[in-house]
Amino acid sequence: MEMHEIPVSTLSLDVDILEGVVVLHAGGEIDVVTAPALEQKLTELAAMCGGSVVVADLLGVHFLSSAGLAVLMRTADDLEGRSRFLVVAQGPATARPMELVGMTESVEVFASVEAALSTI
């Protein structure tokens, strides 16, 4: 197949730390290739900020597969009882798969970072 011109999956991860709240801005694609990088970063941030709030902002993500959903669910489990874990997602690429697997019942999902931060 001649598909070499199509770039491989990419994921950017930028961290903002403001007043004890850690916001991870993800951009690109979260699939079986990039999900491990997301998991590693979330694990680092979770270890770093015991007792505060972790926000995963997925507004820049345009593909989210079950590998990524599993990372988010494991992070929510990991943080349970010590930190709040908030996810920011909107639209068919990210919020929809979370709804389809019923994740929105167990993880707090917001349409914007501002909406997530307003609940703190």
Partner 1 sequence: MTPQPPPEVLPPDGRCAADDPRLDDCAESTCLRLTGVEATLTALGPVRHRVAEFVAPLRLTAEAVADVVLASYEALANAVEHAYPADGPGTLDLCAGYDRGEDVLTVTVVDRGSWQPAEDTHRTRRGQGLRLIGACCDRSDVATGERGTRIRMQWECGGRRTPPPEPDQQVDQ
What residues line the site for partner 1 (CB under 8 A)? 1, 3, 6, 8-9, 29, 31-33, 63-67, 69-70, 91-93, 96-97, 100-101
Cα–chain center distance at 14: 11
Nearer to partner 1, 62 or 84 (CB): 62
Query: CA-based angle 76:99:75, to the nearest 5?
Result: 10
Three-state DSSP at 93 gives coil
Nearer to partner 1, 93 or 117 (CB): 93
Nearer to partner 1, 48 or 111 (CB): 111
Shortest spacing between CB 30 and partner 1, in angstroms: 11
Phi, psi angles (nearest 5°) of residue 83: -140, 155
Shortest spacing between CB 18 and partner 1, in angstroms: 31
Shortest spacing between CB 87 and partner 1, in angstroms: 16
Can you state the angle between helices 35-48 and 66-79, rounded to 10 degrees? 10
